[in-house]
Structure 1
Amino acid sequence: MKESTAATSAQTPLRVGVLGAGGIATIPEGVLPNMHHIADKATVVAVADVLASRAEQTAARFGIPAHYSNLDDMLANSDLDAVVNLTPIPAHAETSLKIVEAGKHLVVEKPLATTLAEADAIIDAAGARELTIVCAPPDMLYSPYVQAQRLIRENAIGKVAFARVRSSHGGPGGGPDGWPFDPTWFYQDGSGPLLDMGVYGIHEITGMLGPAKRVTAFAGITEPTRVVRGDGPYGGLEIPVTTPDNCLFMLDFGDSTFAVVDGTFNVVASRSPKVEVFGRRGALALFRNDGPDLEVYRTDLAPGLDGWIAPNNWPAVADPRRAMLKRALLVDHLVDCVRDGKAPVLSAEHARHALEIMLAVFQSAREGRVVELTTTF
C-alpha cells in the first residue's frame, strides 16, 4: 500500500477517491455531479464499487481516471489524500477504519458506525495519524441552522423549554415515482429509519442545543411487509421488515430542556416545520421546503406586541454555495478543515454522540426505561 499522502498545500487540490457508486454518489443532488464546483479544491481520481461494472460506468460518466471493484485495490493503486465513503450503512465502520488506517482523510455518510466501539476505533485511528473526519449529515453547515444555533446561544428566545423535530419520510420505495434500486436493505437489521433519517434530526437538535444527557423511546414495526410503489424496476417488490420502522423518542438536555424527535418510514406527507424550538421569550421554526428557511417569534417586539419575523437580512454565517454544492458540500468542508487546520463542524465526535443516541433509542424501547448517555462533543 502506498504511504500516506494526506498532507496537501493550499494550492494543490486534494486527490479524492470515492467508495460506492450508488445513488448518493451519482444522483443530481449527490457528490459526483457537483464536484466540478470545487475543482480548484478537490479532484476525484478514483472510484470503487463492489459492482465492477458500476464503478466503470461511473468513471466514464464523470471522467474519473481510475476505477476499482474494491477498496483495497483503490487504496493500493491510486495516490489519494482522502476518501469519500458512500457505502451502505452496515459497511461504514469497517471501510472507514480501513481508510483512516491507510492514512487518508475521510468523508463518510451517516451514521459513522453502528456500534460505539467501532466509532471509537475510527476516531482513535484518525487521531493517531492527525487525519480529519467529516461525517454527514451536512445540515449544521446550512445558514438557517447556524443562525438558529446563534440565536439560541444569544438567548434570543429565552430559556429553551422544548423542541419538536421531524426527521422522517415515507420510506425508500414508498413514493409514487419508480425507485431506481433495490431498497430492501433499508428495512433490514443494521439499517432502518432511525439510522437513515432520524440521524438528521438528532444532528440538528444537538447541533443547536448541545449534547443530550438521557433518552427515552418507543420503537416498533408498523407492518411486517413493505411493497415498493411505482413502475420502476422494483415496483411491486415485497420486502420483509426486520428492523423497527417507526421510532419516536425524547431527548433530555438537562435543566428541564427536552426534545421530541421522530425517525420513521411512516411520514408520507407533512405541513409542519422541520424543527420547532420553544423558549420562554420566543420560538424558532425551521422549514425544509415551504416558507422562509427560518422564522422567529419574539415577545415584546414592541411594547405590548409579540409576533413572527423572517430574518432574511440577518448575516449569512454559512457557505452560501451550499444549495449549489449539495452533497459535495461535505467534501468542500473537509478541504477547508484540512487546509486551515480547523476542527470540522461535522465532527466525528458529534457523529459518535448521535450514534449513541440512536443505540439508546433501541435500548430504551426494548427495555422500557430511560437510558443515560456518556458521550459528548
Structure 2
Amino acid sequence: MTDVAAPSVSSPSRLRIGVLGSGGIATIPEGVLPNLHHIADKVQVVSIADVMVERAQRAAATYGIPNVYATLDELLAGEEVDAVINLTPIPAHAQTALTIVGAGKHLVVEKPIATTLEDADRIIETAKQNGVTVIVAPPDMLYRPYREAQRLVRQGAIGRVAFARVRSSHQGPGGGPEGWPFDPSWFYQEGSGPLFDMGVYGIHEITGILGPARRVSAFAGITDPIRTVRGDNEYTGLEMPVTTPDMNLFMLDFGDSTFAVIDGSYNVHASLSPKVELFGRQGAMGIINPSGPDLQLYRTDVAPGMDGWVQPKSDGWLADPRRDALRRALLVDHLADVVLHGAEPVLTAEHARHALEIMIAVGTSAREGRVVELTTTF
C-alpha cells in the first residue's frame, strides 16, 4: 500500500468540508449528508455545489449548510475548505477529482476513481505532489465482516484459498417495484453501466481480502436493448436505451491456482447466496448472508474426524454499530481519522486504480476473447 504524503493543509480540530453534488448518494437516507451528524466532532460541512442549484439549495436548507454554489470552481474559491466530498456522476469523477486535489484539498470520491488508468494516475500523482489524502468508495473494506474475513484468511483459517464466488449485482436502477427517485437512464449508457456501478464492489471486496489480482478473463453483453423503468413515480414507464453491457461475468486469477468468479450486472432481482463465498483447502467462509450472520466459517477437523460450521460465542461478535449509523458517511469518517488522527488509510487511491484496471480489462477480455494481464498493484 502506498500512502500519500503528509497533508499540506493545517491540522484543524475539525475538517471543513465542501460537498460536490446533491443527488441521491448525497441525500438518500443511507447517503452522506443525513448521517454526518454522527461525526460532528470531526467534520463541519461549510459548502455545497451542484449544477442544479435549486437542488443544492434544498439540501443546504435541510442540513444547515451555509454556502451554496453552482460549480466546483466557485466552491473552491469560496469559503475555505480542507476537503471536498465528490458525489458527482461516474463520467465526471476524474476531472472533478483532479481539480480538487490540484487545489490542495483532501478528497473523498465515489467509485470508480476514474474511467481511464491515465486519469487515475494523474489523480494519484497530483495528490502526492500536493500532500493530500484521497479516499475512494466503496467503503466495504471498512466493514467489520470484511476486515475479519481478511484477518482469518491471512491467518490460514480455511487453508490455502482455491476459489471464491462474489455476487456484485442487482436488478438495475429503475428495475425494482419501489421505483427510482431520479432519471436512471444514464446508468445504462457508455461511461457507466453495472461494472462501474456494482461490479466495483465485488472487485474491491475480493482484492481487499486476497490481495491484487494478476489476470482477467470475461464475458459481457447487453441482455435487452431497451429497459423500462418500473415503480410508481414520475419516471415509471420511461424507456431507456442500453448502450453499454448490462451483464458482465468474469474471472480473476490471483496466482498459485487461486481464482474468483464475479458477476457485475443489472440482472439479479434476488439471491439467497452470501455476498462473498471463499473456499479453501481446510474450510469455507460466507460473508454478508441474506438469512444468516454476516460471517460464517466452516472448518475441517474441528474435532478428530469431524468437519463443521464454527459458531461464535456471541451473535454480536461482528456487530458494527458505526457502519450501521454512518452508512455512506463512513467514507468521510475514514478521511477524518486519516487526516486528523494519522489512521492508516484503507480505501486508497492505489486500490481503486487496481479495481479500475480490472474493470477496463473485463471490457477488453470480453471484446477480444482473451485473457488480459494486469499491471497495477496496491
Superposition deviation, residue 8 in structure 1: 1.8
**1:76 is matched with which residue?**
77
Q: Secondary structure at the match of 2:298?
A: strand
* Structure 2 residue corresponding to 1:7, chosen from 7, 10, 34: 10
Structure 1 residues 293-317: Cα deviation after superposition (integer angstroms, max 9, x where no partner): 0000001111111111243649969
CA, structure 1 residues 128+181, in 2 after alignment: closer, same or farther (shift >3 Å)? same
Give the match for residue 276 of structure 1.
Answer: 277
Distance 1:53-1:324 versus aligned 2 partners, 3 A rule:
same
What's the offset of the Cα at 1:232? 1.1
Contact 1:135/1:346 (8 A) holds in 2: yes
Whole-Å Cα distance in 1 between the matches of residues 315 and 59 of structure 2? 41
In the TM superposition, structure 1's runs of 4+ consecutive aligned residues that sit over 6 Å from their partners are 314-319
* Structure 2 residue aligned with 1:203: 204
Q: Matched residues in 2 for 1:23 and 1:216: separation?
A: 33
CA distance in 2, matches of 1:152, 1:36: 35
Q: Give the Cα separation in 1 of the matches to 2:178 and 2:186.
A: 19
Deviations along 1:55-102, one digit per CA (max 9) or x if unpaired, are 111100110010111100000012100000000000000000000001
1:352 corresponding residue in structure 2: 353
Describe how 1:80-95 pairs up with structure 2 within 5 A. Answer: 80-95=81-96
TM-score by length of 1: 0.96
Change (3 A) 1:57 1:242: same
Q: Which runs of 5+ in 2 are unaligned?
A: 1-6
Distance 1:312 1:197, change over 3 A: farther
Range moving further from structure 2, 299-308 or 250-259: 299-308
Q: Does 1:43 align with 2:44?
A: yes
Cα distance change, pair 160–262 in 1 and its aligned pair in 2 (3 A): same
Summarize the Cα distance change of 1:221–1:355 in structure 2 as closer, same or farther, 3 Å threshold. Answer: same
SS at match of 1:97: helix
User: Is the Cα contact below 8 Å between 1:21 and 1:47 reproduced in 2?
Assistant: yes
Whether the aligned pair in 1 keeps the contact of 2:8 and 2:130 (CA below 8 Å) is no
Deviations 1:303-343, CA, capped at 9 Å, x for gaps = 11111124364996996411101000000000000123344
Residue 59 of structure 2 aligns with an amino acid whose one-letter code is T
Flag structure 1 segments of 5+ consecutive residues without an equivalent.
none
In the alignment of these two chains, the number of paired residues is 372
Q: How does 1:199-238 map to 2 (within 5 A)?
A: 199-238=200-239
CA contact (8 A) 1:6 1:80 kept: no
CA RMSD of aligned residues (A): 1.5
- For residues 337-360 of structure 1, the C-alpha deviation after alignment (integer angstroms, 9 at most, x for no partner) is 012334410000000000000000
Structure 1: which amino acid aligns with 2:286?
Answer: A
Match of 2:126 in 1: 125
Match for residue 134 of structure 1? 135
Tell me the SS of whatever aligns to 2:338.
helix
Q: Does the 8 Å CA contact 2:8/2:131 hold for their aligned counterparts?
A: no
The change in CA–CA distance for 1:315 and 1:130 in structure 2 (over 3 A counts) is farther
Write out per-residue CA displacement over residues 187-244 of structure 1, whole angstroms, 9 at most, x where no aligned residue: 0000000000000000000000000000000000000000000111100000000000
Query: How far apart are the structure 2 equivalents of 1:375 and 1:178?
Result: 39
Conserved? CA contact 2:166–2:260, under 8 Å = yes
Percent of aligned pairs with the same amino acid: 69
